[in-house]
Structure 1
Amino acid sequence: MRQATETLTIDTSRQGLVEVTTEIAAWISAQGVGTGLLTIFCRHTSASLLIQENAAREVRHDIERYFAQIAPEGAGYAHDDEGPDDMPAHLRTALTQVHLSIPVLRGRLALGTWQGIYLFEHRRRPHRREIVLHLLGD
């Protein structure tokens, strides 16, 4: 059994879903692990992680629009230290997740045909986000 870790830095340009599947899959491939488990952890409280469809762009747009409706800006939140998108970003993170676990089979992520891994940026301005990868396997 071996372990490997890495921190990916993702620069976001706006609110929304940023696909990171390719970067993560390339790192997995370089580790030489055939069977294992990958844990992905987002080190932020205003960004999160999702596994979602990666074929139709409309899916990403609809998800982004849905979260804007259920955690809207300008709803009179007490916490707005960093602007009107501050508290909605925290709520959107609370409704999603900051970690994922994905099996690795035959040296590849065991994602379904239409699944991709996304960093979900909940703030309007650009950010530099860190995602920690931890792979355990043989």
Structure 2
Amino acid sequence: MAPGDRVMMGHMSNAFTTRVLNIVSGTEETVVDLTHDCESFLREVADGRDGLLNVFVPHATAGIAVIETGAGSDSDLLAALHTLLPSDDRWQHRHGTPGHGRDHVLPALVPPHATLPVLGGRLELGTWQSVCLVDTNISNVNRQVRLSFLG
């Protein structure tokens, strides 16, 4: 286990382990693929067990999506979010960069969490699925993502 990991044993044989990833998402809207980080975490802590991986971003202006990446879908997602949530002055939440209020609406469309099946210690994703951080807030470049395994 890495420093900062916590393991809490329940009354059954289940274990809960959690780790925080520090992500620098940059000053542009972005989709950050976390799949490798999730798989590495599970290799360290799941020990071949079945369970659930929860991915959670504790920020009011980011979300977690399970989508295809690398074939343009990540860019398409950002374009769709621009259509649904334009960066203009319509938002009542007005601090920060122009149109920043849209970033606070994002988690209603791209939730701040995903819970995923783990079988035999491995993340069970579909062929083209990746676990991604979706960050449209260009003013906050430092993000945390909490990975928690229950199994």
TM-score of the superposition, structure 1-length normalised? 0.92
Task: Determine which structure has the larger helix proportion and give its number.
Answer: 1
CA RMSD for the aligned pairs?
A: 1.3
Aligned letter for 2:149? L
Residue equivalent to 1:81? 95
Residue equivalent to 2:31? 17
Find the partner of 1:2 among 3, 15, 19.
15
Residue equivalent to 2:106? 92
Task: Report how far residue 54 of structure 1 moved.
Answer: 2.5
Which gives a bigger RCO, structure 1 or 2 (Cα 8 Å, sep 6+)? Answer: 1
DSSP-derived class of the 1:77 partner = coil
Residue equivalent to 1:117? 131
Find the partner of 1:27 among 24, 29, 41.
41
Contact kept in structure 1, 2:91 and 2:99, CA below 8 Å: no
Task: Report how far residue 123 of structure 1 moved.
Answer: 1.1
Aligned-pair identity in percent equals 27
Q: After superposition, give the CA deviation of every residue in 1:62-114 in whole Å (9 maximum; x if it has no partner).
A: 11101001100114222111121421111122211011100100111011111
Task: Determine which structure has the larger strand proportion and give its number.
Answer: 1
4+ runs of 1 displaced by more than 3 Å?
none
Q: Structure 1 residues 136, 92: closer, same or farther in 2, change over 3 A?
A: same
* Structure 2: runs of 5+ lacking an equivalent: 1-13
